[in-house]
Amino acid sequence: MPLTPFHLAVGLPLRKRISLKAFILVNVLIDLEPAAVMFFGMDKMGYALHQGVHTLGGATLMAFVAFLCGMACKGKWRPWLSGTVVGAYSHLFLDALVHSDVAPFSPFFSGNPLFLDIHLEVTIACGVILSYYLTKWIESLRIEERWAARTKGGSGR
């Protein structure tokens, strides 16, 4: 399924070393290919969901495009570059593990030597990682403390 949040499971643990915005941008750019194939019904005509952009060359191209988008961030090009590179290649690797139609080394080699048909395992691992970071984020909002302060302060009116 294109544009899944599961790719974030790689980027969130690295968020202090890379630009998470760049990581997300390159992941979205890469998943525009299968989204377009599905949107236009090309998959029903025999087109594979994962083609040119889901190769080393295509992922590198998308990383370069995403890097150019971030050039406006003065002085922060290193984390942006790291985010695009980590995002592009981790996306390709994860998709190659779970989708048989990914040909990561095309046009030099056909097929997918990385395919392990472990979609469920990868989904569970990514879900656990995402749940952990979602929990940490919710804790950081300190909702309980804010609610207590708001109700305590508002009770004297």
Is pLDDT at 157 greater than 50 in this prediction?
no
Element (H or E) spanning 31, and its range? helix 20-39
Q: How many CA atoms lie within 13 A of 3 on its CB side?
A: 10
Compute the CA torsion angle 31, 120, 20, 106 (nearest 10 deg): -40
For residues 11 and 95, is the Cβ–Cβ distance under 8 A?
no
Sign of CA dihedral 52, 92, 89, 127: positive
Distance separating alpha carbons of residues 96 and 59, to the nearest angstrom: 12
Query: What pLDDT digit, counting tens, does each position of 41-58 carry?
Result: 988 888 888 989 999 999
Query: What pLDDT digit, counting tens, does each position of 87-113 carry?
Result: 999 999 999 999 999 999 999 999 999
Query: What helix, strand, coil percent values describe the chain, rounded to 5?
Result: 70, 0, 30
